[in-house]
Structure 1
Amino acid sequence: MNKPLILVVEDDAAIRNLITTTLETHGYRYHAAPNGEAAILEAVSHNPDVVLLDLGLPDIDGVEIIKKIRGWSNMPIIVISARSEDTDKIDALDAGADDYLTKPFSVEELLARLRVTLRRLNFMQNRTGSDMPIFVNGGLKIDYAAGCVFLNGSELHLTPIEYKLLCLLSHNVGKVLTHTFITREIWGSSWDNDVASLRVFMATLRKKIEKDTSAPQYIQTHIGVGYRMLKVE
């Protein structure tokens, strides 16, 4: 069985070498690209399992690269960027990124995020049909077997993290799930900045499923505690 192939897109040579050395040490294959043009060529030519993408590239902004890749592929994209504002994260996630890691980062966290993404990818590629039920809550429908989400009959495009969050909440309707519980279920551990990342992902998820995000119908925030999916009659 081939080892996963990771495309590393990073213009800073020191950071690029750190990432590629880490990947090689842990048994991953990789290709590296120092700019956006090379990244797109590598993505088209080699169809990597996951893309690790810096946003601040010298020729093409990383968000534009995400949009270009999403025009023809759903390959997972994990952003690794020094841009730490929520608006930057939301822009990247809205464009189609699957996860967002802020610089400076630990290699342990990078590897954890990569493992989660690959597990989700493996599940989607190997799901076995109709052995799982369909969840319906008001106008929200989750087909667990197909990995699809519908709102009032229209299919929604969710990133793997958004989908996993929604499934986790749907399996616990009416229960308040704490930040720590959610981050451990989604990322496999609870890192210091995961609550901030969780807040961003919840914001992008709500934009897709809530008619009015200021008066949510499906996901309720419990300030300082966590989130709960409401049962919609």
Structure 2
Amino acid sequence: MNVSKILVVDDEPEIIELITLYLQREGYATYSADNGTDALSLIDKVRPDLILLDVLLKQLNGLDVCLQIRELTDVPVLFVSAKSDDNDIIQGLSVGGDDYITKPFSPGQLVARVKAHLRRQSISMHQQETGRDVLAFDGLIIDLAARTVRVADQPVALSVKEFELLTLLAKQPNRAFQLASLYEAVWGVDSIGDTRTLMVHMSNLRKKIEPDPANPRWIITMRGVGYKFNAEEGTGTPNVYR
């Protein structure tokens, strides 16, 4: 049985020690760095399965580190930061973060988030079949096996969470999803009433696939409910090819 490897990047030794203690209790192999440069070096050597990343770091800040991580790997990156304003969260998720946990945090809740992301990553890898499952709409092609998306015949690069959100909605067109149920389905844990992470990912997804994000064609906001994928007349219904 392979042990999941987790890299903890924080400039506070006490935080690293606390997180490491709880993760090792759960049987994870842990590695740590207190600055961005060492973190990138460790990623290349260790190949972690998940990264816990502070924003305020020496040498390279966490946002710059995340941008470079995304050039190397698509493993889950969870920001753990004292910067808790909406703009801070938007920045973190926009550069490729999968989740954002604010300090002070509950160690138990952090471990639960780690488990959820690793579980989702494992499920996602097992679902990559040799067949070519494709959802085809008018102007939007989603290749489920290759995990690629094309809009107007042009490839669009999506993050892991953006792809999972899109496919979840597109597999059940015209169904209204509540925010909390979307979060739980994609992140694997209860949102505990905080859906900012989901909404930032949805905004980024719209910017990538919608011709006019201010007037979305595909992902429709259902006021007071959540979101749905629009497959009304004029957009086409999904054709699934294998």
- Taking structure 2 as the reference length, what is the TM-score of the superposition? 0.88
8 Å CA contact 1:143, 1:149 repeated in 2? yes
Cα distance in 2 for partners of 1:230, 1:83 equals 35
Q: CA deviation at 1:124?
A: 4.2
2:156 maps to amino acid: L
TM-fit CA distance, 1:44? 1.4
1:73-84 correspondence runs (5 A):
73-84=73-84
1:131-142 equivalences in 2 (<5 Å): 133-142=133-142
1:215 match: 215
Hey, what does 1:69 align to over in structure 2?
69
Structure 2 residue aligned with 1:49: 49
How far the C-alpha of 1:212 sits from its partner, in A, is 1.4
CA drift of 1:226 comes to: 0.8
- Is contact 1:183-1:194 (8 Å) kept? no
Matched, 1:128 2:129: yes
Higher relative contact order (CA 8 A, sep 6+): 2
Total equivalences in the alignment: 232
- Unpaired stretches in structure 2, ≥5 consecutive residues: 237-242
How far off is 1:152 after superposition? 1.7
Instruction: Work out the CA distance in 2 between the residues paired with 1:6 and 1:191.
Output: 22
Quick check: 2:74–2:160 contact (8 Å CA) kept in 1?
A: no
Distance of 1:36 and 1:101 partners within structure 2: 18
Could you say what the CA RMSD is over the residues aligned between the two structures, in angstroms?
A: 1.8
Spell out structure 1 runs of 4+ moving beyond 3 A.
123-126
CA distance in 2 between counterparts of 1:91 and 1:228 reads: 25
In structure 2, what is the Cα distance between the partners aligned to 1:171 and 1:108? 33
Whether contact under 8 Å (2:55, 2:63) holds in the other structure is: yes
User: How far apart are the structure 1 equivalents of 2:37 and 2:212?
Assistant: 39
Residue 193 of structure 1 and its aligned partner are, at CA, apart by: 4.6
Secondary structure class of the residue paired with 1:194: coil
CA contact (8 A) 2:35 2:58 kept: yes
Structure 2 counterparts to residues 90-109 of structure 1, below 5 A: 90-109=90-109
Contact conserved, 2:149 with 2:155, CA < 8 A, in 1?
Answer: yes
In the superposition, the TM-score normalised over structure 1's length comes to 0.91
In the alignment, the residues of structure 1 paired with residue 162 and residue 109 of structure 2 have an alpha-carbon distance, to the nearest angstrom, of 19
- The CA deviation string for residues 96-148 of structure 1, in whole angstroms up to 9 with x for no partner, is 22222222322333223222322333244432311x63112222211111222
The separation in 1 between residues aligned to 2:36 and 2:81, in whole angstroms, is 14
Amino acid across the alignment from 1:45: K
Alpha-carbon offset, residue 155 of structure 1: 2.2
The one-letter amino acid of 1:128's match is E
Q: Percent identity?
A: 36
1:34 Cα deviation after fit: 1.0
**AA of the residue aligned to 1:197:** T
CA gap 1:135/1:124 in 2 versus in 1, 3 angstroms: same
Contact 2:117 2:188 in 1 (8 A): no
Corresponding residue for 1:182?
182
State the match for 1:34 in structure 2.
34
Q: Which residue of 2 aligns with 1:114?
A: 114
* 2:11 equivalent in structure 1: 11
Deviation per residue, 1:47-103 (Å, 9 max, x gap): 111111001112211111112222333333221122223332332233222222222
The equivalent of 1:149 in structure 2 is 149
- Gap change, CA 1:69 and 1:212, over 3 Å in 2: same
